[in-house]
Amino acid sequence: MTAAQQTGHAPSQAQVELATERVGIAQRALVALQAEIEKRLLGQTALVRGAILGLCARGNILIEGQPGLGKTLLVRVLAEALDMDFSRIQCTPDLMPADVTGSQTLVHDEAGRAKVEFRPGPIFANLVLADEINRATPKTQSALLEAMQEHAVTVFGVRRPLPAPFLVAATQNPLEMEGTYPLPEAQLDRFLLKLEVALPTLSDLREIGLSTTSNVEVPTHKIIDRTSVLNLQELVREIVVAPHIADFCARLVLATHPGNAGTPEQVTRFVRYGASPRAMQALILAGRGHALMNGRAWVSEDDVRAIAHPVLRHRMILSFDARLENVTSNQIVDALLERAPRGS
C-alpha cells in the first residue's frame, strides 16, 4: 500500500504518473512472458494467463483437466522463462509428508563424526507442481497445503522458510475418481484460483502434432528474473481498489450464501454453503493482478467479472439437487454475475 493510500490523502499528479509508468513497464514484461510461454504451450491462453495471474498475486493455483493437456509443461516452461527452480511432486497414496517437506538424516563429516543434517524435500523450489494432488492421502495433502499457506515448513520443531517467490500449481484429473482423496472444502479454499484446462481446437491440435514431433526444439528464453517477480508481486498490492469495487466484491461473496438478500434463485436451490471471507480477499487480489496485466493502476468492475469464475468456482458447496440436475459451479457464478447490476 502506498503512503497516499495509508494516510487517506489523494495521490499527487506526480505519484499517479509514476504509478502508471511502473504499471506500463510491468504489463509489457508480462505480455512478453505470456508470449514466450505460448511458443511452447499452444492453444491454452486462458490457462497461461491464469498461471501468470497466480504468480503475480502470490497465490497458488489448482488446475483441473484431462491428462496430456500441458499442465506439467506449463509450470516447467514458466520456471524456465523466469529462471527459477522447478520441482515436481507426483502424488500417490504412499507419498509421505516427509517426502514433500524433507527430513533429518544421519551423515558423517570428513573426520568421520556423525551428525544430523536436514535434507530439503521437493517443496523447496520456486515453482512446484503437485501432480494429481487428490491421489495423496489427507495427511500428505495437509502437509503440502500448510506449506502453501505459510510459505514455510516445520520439520522436527524447526521452522524453515521456503524460497521466494513461491508458487504451487496442483493438478487433478476430473475423470478418474477411484483411488483418490478429494480435497476438503477448507483445503480448496486455500487456492487463489481454480483453472479449468480446455481441449485444444482443431487448428491448435494440428499445430501441436506437427511442432512436437519434429527435430526442431523451441528454446525458452528468460524474460523476467526473480527480483523482478518479487517487485511485481509488491506492485500488485499497490493497485488501487475504489470503495464501490470493494462493495461489488463483497456483494458477490454474500450472494453465494442461500438466504441472503440479493441471492439468485439458483443459489437458493443448488448451493448448500457459500464462499468464505477468503473469497473476498481472493477477488480483490486477483482483480488487482488482472488490472496490472491489462496495464491499469486501478481495479475496474470488468476485472472482477473476468476473474470471478476461477476465484469462486471451487469455494461453494453444491447441494444434492445440483448434482441431480447437472448444475455446475460455473453456472452458479454466471447467475451471480448476471444478477449483479453493472456500475453497482
Domains annotated for the chain, with CATH where assigned, are 240-344 (1.10.8.80)
Residue carrying C-alpha cell 512446484: 128
Predicted local confidence at residue 81, as pLDDT: 93
Q: Where are the alpha helices (DSSP H) in the chain?
A: 3-7, 13-38, 45-56, 71-82, 97-101, 138-150, 185-188, 202-211, 226-236, 243-254, 265-270, 277-293, 301-312, 320-324, 329-339
Contact 81, 226 (CB under 8 A): no
pLDDT score for 200: 87
pLDDT at 14: 60
**pLDDT classification of 6: cutoffs 50, 70, 90:** very low
Q: How far apart are CA 130 and CA 90, in angstroms?
A: 6
Give the predicted TM-score (pTM) of the model.
0.88
The pLDDT-based confidence of 339 (bands split at 50, 70, 90) is confident
Q: State how far the Cα of 212 lies from the Cα of 32, in Å rounded to an integer.
A: 22
Q: What is the pLDDT of residue 284?
A: 97
- The confidence score (pLDDT) of residue 117 equals 81
Which of 10-14, 40-44, 267-271, 291-295 has the least mean pLDDT? 10-14
Q: For residues 271 and 332, is the Cβ–Cβ distance under 8 A?
A: yes
pLDDT at 17 (0 to 100): 66
**What is the chain's mean pLDDT, rounded?**
88
SS3 state at 154:
strand
Residue 183 has pLDDT above 70, yes or no: yes
Q: Residue 1 has what pLDDT?
A: 47
Q: In the prediction, which pLDDT does 261 show?
A: 77
Decide which of 260 and 171 is more confident: 171
Question: pLDDT digits over 187-203, tens only?
Answer: 899 999 999 998 888 99
Question: C-alpha 2: how far from its chain's center?
Answer: 25
pLDDT confidence of residue 342: 75
* CA atoms of 19 and 263, how far apart (whole Å): 37
Other CB atoms closer than 10 Å to residue 108's CB: what's the count? 10
- pLDDT surpasses 80 at 120: yes
Answer whether residue 297 shows pLDDT above 50: yes
The tens digit of pLDDT for each residue in 66-106 reads 888 888 889 999 999 998 999 999 999 999 999 999 888 87
For residue 154, give the nearest of 165, 142, 168 by alpha carbon.
142
| pLDDT band, residue 5 (cuts 50/70/90) | very low
- Interatomic CA distance for residues 330 and 249, integer angstroms: 17
